[in-house]
Structure 1
Amino acid sequence: MRKLLLTGFEPFGGEPINPAVEAVRRLQGRGIGSFEVVGLELPTVFGPSLERLLTGIRETEPEVVIALGQAGGRKGISFERIAVNLSDADIADNAGYRPVDVPVVPEGPAAYWTTLPVKRMAERLQEKGIPASLSLSAGTFVCNHVFYGLMHHLAVSGKPIRGGFIHVPYLPEQAERHPGAPSMALEQMVEGLEQAIRAMTE
């Protein structure tokens, strides 16, 4: 089967859990459509997160790379359309680093578009009754750092690998600590991601 590399971040920002990596663990090893899912956990740290991702790509040789991240406050699964060449953090990463106005790749392009069929993927989830939307901002924290770094690597490598980024909301147990914040059960999140992967093969 063709390989799909799916990554998720470790917990950050004082949270004891990160739904992104929990979803990756559930999907690891599954055959979905024509893809075999290979899971990879990334540190929520500028620099090492991207290095770990690029190592995973070399080791796995996937046809598709999807990075997952947590976006607390969002109502559903968000399919990111654009990565920007900027790291600018409101909080420090897990290594205590807090960049301000730092490019992800010095002298790199201002932005990259995803190469995933995000409209089709979002529509597939909506048809299944799973909250989903398109997003034009992956932020400027480690999520965007990895998204931009991934797309830059794919662009300069010239390899026919599709890549992109998907944000998932809080889990219910996280939302309990953030009054008013929306959430999604892990089971529905995993189902949504599986449907998104299937949408790429149809």
Structure 2
Amino acid sequence: MTTPASASAVRVLLTGFEPFGGDGHNPSIVAARDAVALLAERGVAAEAVELPCAFADAGPALTAALERTRPEAVLAVGLAGGTAAVRVERVAVNIQDARIPDNAGAQPVDRPVRADGPAALFATLPAKRAVAAIRAVGVPAELSLSAGAFVCNHVMYVLLDAPGTAGSAGFVHVPWDEEHRPTPDTPALPAADLARAVAEAALAALAGGVDLHVPGGTLH
């Protein structure tokens, strides 16, 4: 399912995921769809596409959306349950190592995303600038050096590895939204904040340019 842009050409492609792991909701696709409206208010035509949470199907669905829309920038969004801030991912690794089965029942272990691909690929959006932009609108955000080894990392790798991907591209993990978090103790943010964060990261991707030269590493 897609949330279409206006009649103008799509400048930004946003993706999110269907629910997985037995949950009935996934805030990533909701945030992507809501961000489309926020971007439209700023004169930026965007489209949100829901991807299947399955290793075999997510890549082809993403590739089809890229070929159809040919956007200037791409931001994929996924759920990182248990986190309390939006995480802008910096790197995707060439591995599939699933802790749980995907929605198709597949659970690859120590398998590459692309057999002859590089070990890792870096996001081409200015990740530190995106973090700063999200924080500037009052939403907690941090730079992340690991997108995991599940379907989120798989999609990020496929996105950065896609031939002819124009402009800048990257991946953002969002926490649960407050209305749908699994337990009262699960870290979460308001759904409106998730959408604002995705929109700001998308604008950073669209602007591109040199990233901020500020510390962004972690001790462990």
Q: TM-score, normalised by structure 2?
A: 0.84
Query: Which consecutive unaligned segments of at least 5 residues does structure 2 have?
Result: 1-8, 209-220
SS in 2 for 1:75: coil
In structure 2, what is the Cα distance between the partners aligned to 1:201 and 1:85? 27
Deviation of 1:91 (Å): 0.4
Determine which of 160, 163, 185 is the counterpart of 2:169: 163
RMSD (CA atoms):
1.8
Q: How is 1:83-162 mapped onto 2 (pairs within 5 angstroms)?
A: 83-153=92-162, 157-162=163-168
Q: How is 1:190-201 mapped onto 2 (pairs within 5 angstroms)?
A: 190-199=195-204, 200-201=206-207
Q: Aligned AA for 1:51?
A: P
| Cα displacement string for residues 33-66 of structure 1 (whole angstroms, at most 9, x for unaligned residues) | 5631111000000021110000000000111111
SS in 2 for 1:31: helix
Identity %: 41
Greater displacement, 164-173 / 9-18: 164-173
The answer to whether the 8 A contact 2:70-2:166 is kept is no
Deviation of 1:124 (Å): 1.4
In structure 1, what is the Cα distance between the partners aligned to 2:34 and 2:28? 10
| Cα displacement string for residues 142-164 of structure 1 (whole angstroms, at most 9, x for unaligned residues) | 000010011111xxx24533111
Q: Aligned AA for 1:169?
A: P
Indicate the residue corresponding to 2:193 in structure 1: 188
Runs of at least 4 residues off by over 6 Å: none
The answer to whether the 8 A contact 2:75-2:202 is kept is no
1:178 matched to 2:217? The reply is no
SS in 2 for 1:160: coil
In structure 2, what is the Cα distance between the partners aligned to 1:124 and 1:27? 15
Paired residue total:
198
Q: TM-score, normalised by structure 1?
A: 0.91
1:68 matched to 2:77? The reply is yes
Deviation of 1:178 (Å): 3.4
Query: Which consecutive unaligned segments of at least 5 residues does structure 1 have?
Result: none
